[in-house]
Amino acid sequence: MAARHWVWGLALGALVAGSGSVLADTPADATLAPHYGSWGFDLAGEDLAVKPGDDFFAYTNGTAVKALVIPPDRTRFGAFDTLSVLSENRVHAILEAASHAQDHSGPQKKIGDFYAAFMDEARINRLGATPLKPLLAKVKAVTNRRAMAKLMGSRQTGFGASLIGLSIYADAKDPDHYAVYASQSGLNLPDRDYYLTPGLAEKKKAYQAYVAKMLKLIGWANPDAAAADVVAYETALAEVSWARADRRDRDKTYNAMRVAEFAAATPGLDVAALLEGAELKDLKRIIVRENTALPKLAAVFAKTKLSTLKAWEAFAIADEAAPYLSTDFVTTRFAFRNQVLQGQPELASRWKRAVASTNRALGEDVGQVYVARYFPPEAKAQMEALVGNLKAAFKVRIENLTWMSPETKAKALEKLAAFNVKIGYPATWRSYDFKVVRTDLLGDVQRASASDWRRDVRRKDGPVDRTEWGMTPQTVNAYYDPSFNEIVFPAAILQPPFFDPKADPAINYGGIGGVIGHEMSHGFDDQGRKSDGTGRLKDWWTAEDAAKFKIEAKKLADQYSAFEPLPGVHVNGQLTLGENIGDMGGINLALDAYRHSLNGAAAPMVDGLTGDQRVFLGWAQVWRGKAREDALHQQLVVDPHSPPEERVNAVVRNVDAWYEAFGVKPGDKLYIPPQDRVKIW
C-alpha cells in the first residue's frame, strides 16, 4: 500500500524486531552504539588460517561467525542485526515512556496508546477470536463472485487476500504524478516456487496443515477439506504466475491501459467490483504489471468453487490478523510462518513485537523522538561530506569508462548530477490521521492500514510528494528510488560498523562509503539504468552501449548463479542482479573515494594493514553474520539480495585492486583471470 514501489534497499528484510548477542564490544547501556576494535575493525573476528584468496568472507569474519550464536527469536544475525537490536532497544525506551506518560498529547500520545494496546495481552486473550467476527461475517455474506471481487478490493483497507494487488505510487513514465498499479497476488506462501518446486514439497504440506488449523480456530466448517481446496486453488494460481526474476523487469511490468481494457482482458473477474471495494470506483487508467498472468489468474478464479474462495479469504484474514489476536492465534501462526518456513525456535518477546508493530503503523511519529535523542546534527554533516566524495568518485569513473560512448556517458553524468540525497530523517514529518484506541489493537492496526490506503487514493493522479520518505529514521537500511532518482540513508544505519566518527577513515569508506556507492550504483544497475535523470522510465542508451552493458551483466549473473549456499540450491543470478551490481559499484566507488580523500598522500599503515586492505576489510565486516538453513533457503527463493558470503566473495573477485592488496594468485579459489572479471561501473 506504499505510495512508491520501485525502491531498492541495501539489506534483507525489515530490520526492526528481534534480540540477542552482538558481534562487537557492546556498552552496558543497550541504547548505546557498539564499537569494533580500537580503530573501527574487529581484528579478533578474523580467521587468519584462511587465505583471503580462497574465502575473503571467512578470512575477515570467520572467527566471529564461528562464535556467533543466533538468538532463539531470530532467523539470522549479523552486523545489520546488531544495529537493529540497538534501534529496537531505543524505540522500546521511547514507547515505554510514551505509554506511561500522563500529560502527553499528539504524536507522543498516539504512539504510547498504540504500544499499550499491543502490550495489553490479558485483554487480548479474553477477547479471543471476537475481534474477527465482523470481518468473517462479511466473508460469509458473500453469495456470488461479484461480491467476492468487491470484498477482495476492500482488503486494501484492512486484512485479507486478493487475486490482484493494487498500489499507488509514482508513474514510472510520468514520475511527477501518482498512478494506480495492478499486480499478481493471491499466494499466501512466500513465492510460487513453494507450490511448484519438489524440494519445497514438505513446506507446502505443512502449509495445508496450517491453513486447516487456522480455519479451525475461527470455527470454519469442514476445515481440513477446505484447507485442501485452498492449497489446490493457490497452486493453480502459482502455475500461471510470473517468476520473481521476470517481475523485476521494469519494461515488461509497465503496461498502461484504460480500466475498460483491463476489465475486458480479465473476463473471469469483475474488475469494476474489485475497484469499487478498493474505493477506486471512478478510476479510468491503470498500469498493469504482470499483464499476461492476470487474465490467467482471473480464469482460475472464475472456475473455482465459491466455497473455496470464501475459505481462502477467511484464512487470509485470520492469518494476517493473528499477530494482534489471542495467544492461540499468535502461536499457531508463529509455528508455521517462523518455525517451519524459517527455522526460528522461539517467538520474540511481546515488547519486541509491539515495537515492530508501532513502527509499522506510526513510524514517523516514533522517528521524531528517535532523531531528537539519537541523531546529532554533526552526523548528518559528516554524511553529506562522504556522499559528496562518493559522487565525485562516480563522476570520474563514468568519465573514464572505456566501453561507453560519449553520447551515453553524457546522459549518465546528467543523471548522476541530478541525484537527490536524503540523510537522517524527513524535512517534513508525516501526520497520521487515524484514531488509536488503547483497548482495540486489531482496530488500531486496521485503521492504520485504511489510513495509509486512503491517503494514497486521495493523491492518485495528483502531483508526487518528493519530500516523502520510504523508510523511517529508525530503520537500519538505505535505498534508491528510480522514479525520484534519489538515494536515502536513515539515521539508524549511520553507526558502527557502517559509520563511526572515531574510526579509521578507510573503514568508514569500506562501510558507509560502500553503502553510499551501492545505492548510487542502483541508479545504473540493470533496472535502475532504465530511468533518466528526471526519474522517467526512458531508454537513454545507444543500442551499442546497451548491448555491451547486457553482456557484462549476464557475465555477473552467471558468476553468482554458480554459487551454491545450500546443497542443490543456487543463488539466482538474475533475481539478484541489481543488488549484485550495486555491491560491485559500492566497493569500487568506496575505494576510489578513499584514495581521493588522501589528496595525493600515501595511505597510513594501521596494524600492518594498508589503506586499500582496510577498505576491503571494512566492506566485508558489515556483512558479518549467518542465518538458519530454512531462512537462507527462503532468502534464495524470494530475496533480490545475495547471502552475506556472496556479497563479499563474489564482489571482491571482480576488483583488480583486491588482488593486488591481498596477493591473490592463480590457484586461489576466488581467482578469476583478468579478462573474465566483470567491469561495469
pLDDT of 8 strictly over 90 = no
Q: What percent of the chain lies above the pLDDT cut of 90?
A: 92
What is the spatial distance between Cα 343 and Cα 76, in angstroms, rounded to a whole number?
10
Predicted pLDDT of residue 16: 34
pLDDT tens-digit readout, 147-202 = 999 999 999 999 999 999 999 999 999 999 999 999 999 999 999 999 999 999 99
Predicted pLDDT of residue 377: 87
Predicted pLDDT of residue 28: 54
User: What are 420's strand-pairing partners?
Assistant: 486
The residue type found at 579 is E
pLDDT tens-digit readout, 476-490 = 999 999 999 999 999
Predicted pLDDT of residue 9: 72
Q: Which long-range contacts (C-beta less than 8 Å, at least 24 apart) are formed by 267-271?
A: 267/295, 267/298, 267/302, 268/295, 268/298, 268/299, 268/300, 268/301, 268/302, 268/303, 269/145, 269/149, 269/163, 269/164, 269/297, 269/298, 269/301, 269/302, 270/145, 270/146, 270/149, 270/150, 271/149
Predicted pLDDT of residue 666: 98
Q: Which of 323, 321, 280, 335 is nearest to 161 (CA)?
A: 321
Name the one residue in this structure whose C-alpha cell is 543523471.
415
Angle at 595 between CA 589 and CA 596, to 5 degrees: 85
| CA distances to 339, 341, 506, 579 from 397, in Å | 46, 43, 19, 19
pLDDT tens-digit readout, 80-118 = 999 999 999 999 999 999 999 877 677 789 999 999 999
Homologous superfamily, domain 32-89+375-430+468-676 = Collagenase (Catalytic Domain) (3.40.390.10)
pLDDT tens-digit readout, 413-456 = 999 999 999 999 999 999 999 999 999 999 999 999 999 999 99
Q: Which of 255, 258, 254 is nearest to 283 (CA)?
A: 258
Predicted pLDDT of residue 35: 84
Report the chain's mean pLDDT, rounded to a whole number. 94
> Taken in order 40, 46, 51, 53, is the CA torsion positive or negative?
negative
Which position has the higher pLDDT, 43 or 103? 43
Q: Could you tell me how far CA 515 lies from the centroid of its own chain? A: 15
Q: How many CB atoms lie within 10 A of CB 41?
A: 29
| DSSP tag of 515 | H
DSSP 637-671: HH-SSPPHHHHHHHHHTT-HHHHHHHT--BTBTT-
Q: How, if at all, do strands 486-490 and 8-9 pair? A: unpaired
Considering the entire predicted model, what is its pTM?
0.94
CATH of domain 130-347: 1.10.1380.10
Q: What mean pLDDT do residues 638-655 have?
A: 97
pLDDT-derived band at 382, boundaries 50, 70, 90? confident
Q: For the chain, give every residue range classified as CATH 1.10.1380.10.
A: 130-347
pLDDT of 661 strictly over 50 = yes
Predicted pLDDT of residue 101: 86
Q: For the chain, give every residue range classified as CATH 3.40.390.10.
A: 32-89+375-430+468-676
What is the spatial distance between Cα 34 and Cα 243, in angstroms, rounded to a whole number?
40
Q: What mean pLDDT do residues 551-561 have?
A: 97
| DSSP tag of 617 | H
What is the spatial distance between Cα 616 and Cα 663, in angstroms, rounded to a whole number?
13
pLDDT of 26 strictly over 70 = no
What is the spatial distance between Cα 493 and Cα 508, in angstroms, rounded to a whole number?
12
pLDDT tens-digit readout, 276-297 = 999 999 999 999 999 999 999 9
Predicted pLDDT of residue 7: 65
pLDDT tens-digit readout, 576-604 = 999 999 999 999 999 999 999 999 999 99
Predicted pLDDT of residue 23: 47
| CA distances to 258, 266, 298, 627 from 292, in Å | 16, 10, 11, 36
